Amino acid sequence: MTFLNRFAAVAVLALSISVLHAAPPATVAGAKTFMDKAEAELLKLGIEQQRADWVNETFITDDTEAISALFTDRLIARTTELVKESRQYEKLPLPADLRRKFLLLKLSLNMPAPSDPKLREELTQTSVGLGSAYGKGKYCPDEDTSHCLGIDDLEERMAKSRDPKELARYWAGWHKIAPPMHDKYARFAELSNQGARELGFKDTGVLWRSYYDMPADQFSAEMERLWSQVEPLYKELHAYVRTRLVAKYGATAQRPDGLIPAHLLGNMWSQQWDNIFDLVAPASAPPTYDLGQIFTERKTTPKEITTYGESFFKSLGFEPLPPTFWKRSMLVKPTDHDAVCHASAWDVDSNEDVRLKMCIHGTTDDFATVHHELGHLYYDLSYRKQSPLLRDSANDGFHEAIGDAIALSITPEYLKTIGLIQTVPPPAADIPILLRKALEKISFLPFGLLVDKWRWQVFSGETKPEGYNAAWWALREKYQGIAPPVDRSESDFDAGAKYHIPANTPYARYFLAAIYQFQFYRAMCREAGYKGPLNRCSVYGSKEAGTKFAAMLSLGKSKPWPEALKQLTGEDKLDASAIVEYFAPLLEWLKQQNAGANGATKPGWTVAANPMKAQ
């Protein structure tokens, strides 16, 4: 036999062997088997990762950080592998529910990782390191390390201080924690983008925006459409607050461009302004109430405050929280070790091991935050009977909106019903109550919009690392109408001083939630048979509203979000008309105040030549 004949024979034999060992063709039945196994495996890995993360966030050490990174890497690695393995089934005529699971698997990574193990490990270590750097962050006045202040302490001081110089020190001091994160974040974005491209997305921002049952570009347009509905109300509120701050602080608050200095708004990020209500309250307003003061006088414990939130959900027909919730949650700040105090809800085992992580001080904000976070947990408990990939909210904006929709029912009537106040303020108090609520809800809207706009620009490459800070302040000026209290430069990294940036938590959900919650709330009020002004409605005790609410929650992610929205509201489009209706009396009042005798207070502001310049 000649060499060529022998080669041909070997080739035929090799081909025969390869045919015998070739993977069988993909089938619908095979796709279902693959998905069942994938869901079971990811559920197990997810529980392990959640437990490791819980320990790291409630007890930060080098060891817990390393353990968290290890389990996060395992989950990301296997998810990435499964996404790639799932591609063999993409062209099959799959049933709609199974096809949805394959799509959700592909979109399940907020932090897509490269397939290269070394790069994936680098990404997870960088991510965990960024989160821990934030958790460990402290401001030490006068470099005195024996009296350092964490963000929890600083937030409390920013809320209460009325000394502009002191406020500027707190603001600048906290923002100093972020510059060391700059290069790590740039590398994080680079690695995450590589992972997104390997999954078939242009960048991580496109992957995130593809999560909303519509094309990524359409989602961006939807965000702007919603903002256009609420922007007039925000600008009237901004103008009114600006005028009152100038009356309080004089030249410190007054800028020729109409921007408000960021440190004067009672919050480290100027994202909610309700802490300065005392400075902007109508002078002739009848007295209302201060829940923080009530809790202090009654010596209300963090557990008791949490129980109020649980009782609201029980009044709608929901079950009590599981006993393990009370054993495993962190409700107070640890005194002997570092922990991340940023409030968050945890569904550790996708079943009944739900927990709250929060450092409760007994403020009015804490009361609302407890309702918000328990909303996450009751959503988790409601959809736990869905299959693993569907144990999530219709979209992440839904998850954030659930508890806030309940918190809108924290009306004077509700507070009297549960015994926190004795007398319901008269109708004349509606304007100050609505004003306080607007300082919480309306002031947040532009910030909720811009955080991810900045990140999308970073991920797309439109904003380069050398321009991170200028882009951040350009957006804050454009949407919020605020300016930094001290000069900034590219040696700063002010975005990193906001938890959700180093923690890699998408933020568009919070903007969406600010809109959804009013849609949910209005629908529940209608279901409860309420007929009065929307801002006076409380659905506390309405089993009818609770039944409709629970039906939407139980769907989890099994249906596209428009179908889930329709389940409760009868509407399948996101619409800000409910929030406009809620604040309609306030909007008219603000217009009157801003017009004044001479029409001197004009809503809006002009673009500064340098958005990073203090004055």
Catalytic residue selected from 413, 500, 544, 581 = 500
Instruction: Return the residue matching tokens 């698997």.
Output: 105
Rama region for 270: left / alpha / beta (φ>0; ψ in -120 to 50; rest): left
Query: Is 352 in contact with 322 (CB distance < 8 Å)?
Result: yes
500 is catalytic: yes
Burial (CB count within 10 angstroms: exposed 0-12, middle 13-18, buried 19+), residue 195: buried
d(CA 559, CA 393) in angstroms, rounded, equals: 10
d(CA 316, CA 527) in angstroms, rounded, equals: 12
Q: What is the DSSP string of 203-222?
A: SHHHHHHGGGSS-HHHHHHH
373 is catalytic: yes
8-state DSSP, 149 = B
Instruction: Return the residue matching tokens 């007054």.
Output: 254
Burial (CB count within 10 angstroms: exposed 0-12, middle 13-18, buried 19+), residue 530: middle
> Could you tell me how far CA 491 lies from the centroid of its own chain?
27
Among 477, 454, 479, 475, residue whose Cα is nearest residue 465: 454
Strand spans (E) along 326-365 = 344-347, 354-357
Crossing angle of helices 468-475/182-198, nearest 10°?
Answer: 80
Element (H, E) at 260: strand 260-261
Query: Dihedral sign, CA of 441, 443, 445, 448?
Result: negative
d(CA 320, CA 318) in angstroms, rounded, equals: 7
Catalytic residue selected from 236, 373, 477, 527 = 373
- Helix/strand number for the chain, H first, E second: 25, 4
Among 505, 515, 442, 516, residue whose Cα is nearest residue 479: 442
Rama region for 282: left / alpha / beta (φ>0; ψ in -120 to 50; rest): beta
Element (H, E) at 437: helix 430-441
Q: Is 125 helix (H, G, I), strand (E, B) or coil?
A: helix
- Locate 38 and state its tokens: 């994938």
- Locate 207 and state its tokens: 């992957």
8-state DSSP, 479 = I
Please list the active-site residues: 373, 500
